[in-house]
Structure formats: C-alpha cells, structure tokens
Amino acid sequence: MKHTITLIPGDGIGPEVSDAVVTVLAAAGLDIEWEPHDAGATAFARTGDALPPSLLESVRRNRVALKGPIATPIAGGFASVNVGLRKALGLYANLRPVINLPGVPSRFEHVDLVIVRENTEDLYAGLEHEIVPGVVESLKIITSHASARIAKFAFAYARTNHRTRVTAVHKANIMKRSDGLFLSCTREAASEYPDVTYDEVIVDAACMHLVMHPERFDVLVLPNLYGDIVSDLCAGLVGGLGVVGSANLGDDIALFEAVHGTAPDIAGRNLANPTALLLSALLMLEHIGETSHAERIRQALVRVLTEREIRTGDLGGTATTREYADAICRELSRGVRS
Ligand code: NAI
C-alpha cells in the first residue's frame, strides 16, 4: 500500500539521520511518498518562520509525520518548534517505549517500560512573566481535561498492548492542588480499567527506583515536565538518547520523532547514529499498519547491532551514518533471500 508522509528532517544531524531512515525504509520495500518540509533554524533562516504554515497543512493532510531534531534557542529567539507542533496539531500524548536493544551496551538488562507523558500543559505552557525586576513567575497549568485524557490514554495503551500495570508519577505531597488534580484523574481512569493494576509514586522516589530496579516498571504516566525529565533518564537505562524512539499522538494525527537533539558537535560529519529515528519510524510503521515491515527492519537492525562490526561512534564503533544504514539495508536484502 502506498503512504504519503510528511518528513521534517530538522536541524543539525537531522538531515543525516532522516536520509539514513528514508534509505532503510525504501530498502525494505515500503512504498512511501515523502513530503519534505523545513522547520526550526533552517526554516527560520530561509523564511523568517520556524514553523511554516505549509508544514502544518502537510501534516494535517497526511495525518502522519516523521521528524528529526529541531534546535531551540535558549533564553530568547523563536519559540520551541517542538512545543508549537504538539500544540498546533493536538498531539497530547508522548509515548516512549524504553527497551533493551540487543547488542547495545547498557547498565541494565530486562528493561521494558513505556513512558506516557502529557504533552500540552504543565510548566510547558510557557506562561512566564516578571512580577517585579528580579522576580519571575512561571505558571504550572494542570487541567482535569488534559489529565483525564492522558490517564485514559495510558490505561487504554496498557490494555491494548497486554501490559499489566500503570504507575502515576507525581509530586502531589507538595503541589497538592495541581498534581493532586492530575492524581485524581489517574485514579478515576484506573477505576475504569480494573484489569490493569494501578499504583502511584512520587517523582523523586520514582527516579531512585528507576535507576535501581527499572525492570519493576511497566507503563508510567506523568505530567509534562516530569515526563520530559524521567523519559531521558529512562533512555539512559538502555544505552542513551541514540537508541530510543518516540511518538507524539493526538486523536487523528501522529508525529514520530527521535528523542535526541540536533547534536551540533557532530552535525554535518556523517557520524550520527540514526537508530533512534529508525526506531521512531518503526513505531510509525506499526501505526500505519505496516507491522510486518516494521518487524523485518527491527530484525535487520538487531542483526547489525549484535554482529558488532558496524556501529557508530556513540556505540563505540567507527562506522559513518551512511555505512551503518547501508549495513541494515544489506541485512534486509539477506532477509529477503533467506
Ligand atoms: P543533543 O541530544 O543534541 O546532544 C547531546 C549529546 O548526545 C551530544 O554529545 C551529541 O553528539 C550526542 N548525540 C545526540 N544524538 C546523537 C545521535 N543520534 N548519534 C550520536 N550522538 C548523538 O542535546 P543538546 O546538545 O542538549 O541539544 C542540542 C539542540 O537540540 C538544542 O537546540 C536543543 O533544543 C535541541 N533538542 C531538540 C530535540 C527535539 O527536536 N526533539 C530534543 C532535544 C534537544
């Protein structure tokens, strides 16, 4: 089946890892027409707009997008394109499966958890102002609408994917009203899913438990900011940001992206590891019903990683982005012959 998908290569290493992923998906025999669109620093330099309306129109039309990393200027400059995309497209759930990848060295084995992060509010609402010089207020927005929506999403995901437990992560002992509201919504959702075990953990304790016994967790549901921090921590449990994919999901639009940034220190040098964006692309293939293609690419990726001959510098190898992608393509063609 033919698919039309918006491609946002992004900044820094984005075009290199996107190119590698497009090559692998083509080698797997997928019939995809890509609609490429610039965003972020590249688009801003060219058009003065970091999030061009034509990009949003393309994603709304195709309902599926694959996105590389986008640079966000610190303390000034244009607003975060990542946050803008999530808001403009109603992508309220950020899903990040964290699982050991064979052949990738990590401190833990048997990690198999899923982060479900609320994507639209909390301190990410970006509502900040200076009350008087030297005093800045930043508003943490938590609504029952968004909290109930993400809680239901987490439980429905758990049920559909045969997962047994959802853990709500919070700081309601201190933020009694805001995180308290979040918790009352997760409890309410839990009561509608009696087949899924529900528990709660305070965010600081959650971090400690995660770095001691990550295998004890299953699905975690978190407000936006804790979700942002804890999901990077969890990536570190299985080998880092280069080997974890993610999806941003709304009711009828899905945008898949690597969780790492633009890696300015290695950009343009053909050194980046495209695995994270490839894993995001596999989530995308499952989303559009190309499950068998996704599985075949996953197996080819795992074969390359376990043979350990061809891997990028972040995983201790010397291969270029292109050589690594070509190795996965070769494994795919071997898979076809066998
Ligand atoms: P970063 O993830 O770009 O880099 C951190 C370190 O990891 C660097 O040493 C980099 O070389 C390495 N690294 C990252 N991805 C890699 C890959 N695929 N292969 C090999 N090595 C990799 O984080 P940093 O430096 O904090 O952020 C740089 C820019 O990226 C910032 O402008 C930030 O706002 C943006 N960013 C964008 C994200 C997105 O679009 N979703 C997410 C995180 C950051």
What confidence tens digit (pLDDT) does each residue in 78-105 have?
778 988 899 899 999 999 999 999 989 8
| 232 in the same domain as 121 | yes
| 206 in the same domain as 147 | yes
Which residue CA neighbors atom 40 of ligand 1 most closely?
A: 69
Range of the domain at 179: 107-237
Instruction: Indicate whether residue 275 lines ligand 1 (CB < 6 A).
Output: no
Instruction: Indicate whether residue 326 lines ligand 1 (CB < 6 A).
Output: no
| 214 in the same domain as 125 | yes
| 51 in the same domain as 14 | yes
Nearest Cα to Cα of residue 280 among 112, 288, 218: 288
pLDDT of residue 77: 73
Do 166 and 201 touch, CB atoms closer than 8 A? Answer: no
Q: Pocket of ligand 1, candidates 21, 232, 262: which has the most ligand atoms within 8 Å of its Cβ, to mutate?
A: 262
pLDDT of residue 338: 46
Q: What is the mean pLDDT of the chain?
A: 94
| 221 in the same domain as 132 | yes
pTM check: above 0.85: yes
> Amino acid letter at 264?
P
The number of helix segments (H) and strand segments (E) in the chain equals: 11, 12
Work out which ligand 1 atom sits closest to the CA atom of 72. Answer: 34
| 180 in the same domain as 71 | no
**In the chain, what percentage of residues exceed pLDDT 90?**
85
CA of 258 to the centre of ligand 1 (A): 10
Cβ density class 30-62: b for 16+ within 10 Å, e for less = bebebbebbbbbbbbeeeeebbbeebbebbeeb
What does the block give as tokens for 204? 């600081």
pLDDT in tens, 179-204: 999 999 999 999 999 999 999 999 99
CA 280 to chain centre: 7
Instruction: Indicate whether residue 257 lines ligand 1 (CB < 6 A).
Output: yes
Residue 102 maps to a domain: no
CA of 260 to the centre of ligand 1 (A): 5
